[in-house]
Structure 1
C-alpha cells in the first residue's frame, strides 16, 4: 500500500466538503461529513489520489478513451504560432 507523503496530504482537501483528508488503507477519507452525513472516500491508484466526487467517478470510468483524441483536445503536431503546418 503506497502511503501518501505527509506534505501532500497536508494540502489536499475533499472536493465535496472542503475538509482535510486522512489516509485509511488505500483510500483517502474526508474528516467532515457531507450533507447526507457520510464522509466521502477517494481511491488511491498507483500512488495517485483520485479526488473526483463519487457521482463523477462512475461517469469518468465509463468514458471511452476515444473521447480524448487529439482533435477534441486541440492537440496537434503543428505549432500554429510558428506558422508551420
Structure 2
C-alpha cells in the first residue's frame, strides 16, 4: 500500500487514522475496533464491509 495514500486515509465512521496490517490485508481503526479489507491494493472503506476486531486483536 502506498505510504502517501495511508497518510490521507481515515476511518469513514470516526475519522481516526488507520493502521495498515499487511499480512491480513486490512486497514484497522483502533477507536472503532473495525478492520476494513484491502482488495487488489484498493481499500474498501465501507462500514458494511468491515469486520469487528476480536478481543485478542485489540
TM-score, normalised to structure 2, is 0.72
Q: Name the structure with the higher strand share.
A: 2
Q: Which consecutive residues of structure 2, in runs of 5 or more, have no partner in the other structure? A: 50-58
Q: Name the structure with the higher helix share.
A: 1
Q: Hey, what does 1:45 align to over in structure 2? A: 39
Superposition deviation, residue 30 in structure 1? 1.0
Which structure has more RCO (C-alpha within 8 Å, separation ≥ 6)?
2
Give the total of aligned pairs: 48
Q: Hey, what does 1:7 align to over in structure 2? A: 4
**Does structure 2 retain, via aligned residues, the 8 Å contact 1:43–1:49?**
yes
Which of the two has higher C-alpha Rg? 1
1:22 and 2:16 correspond: no
Q: Which consecutive residues of structure 1, in runs of 5 or more, have no partner in the other structure? A: 58-85
**Does structure 2 retain, via aligned residues, the 8 Å contact 1:14–1:51?**
yes
Regions of 4+ moved over 6 Å:
none
Superposition deviation, residue 17 in structure 1? 1.7
**Does structure 2 retain, via aligned residues, the 8 Å contact 1:16–1:40?**
no
Superposition deviation, residue 22 in structure 1? 1.1
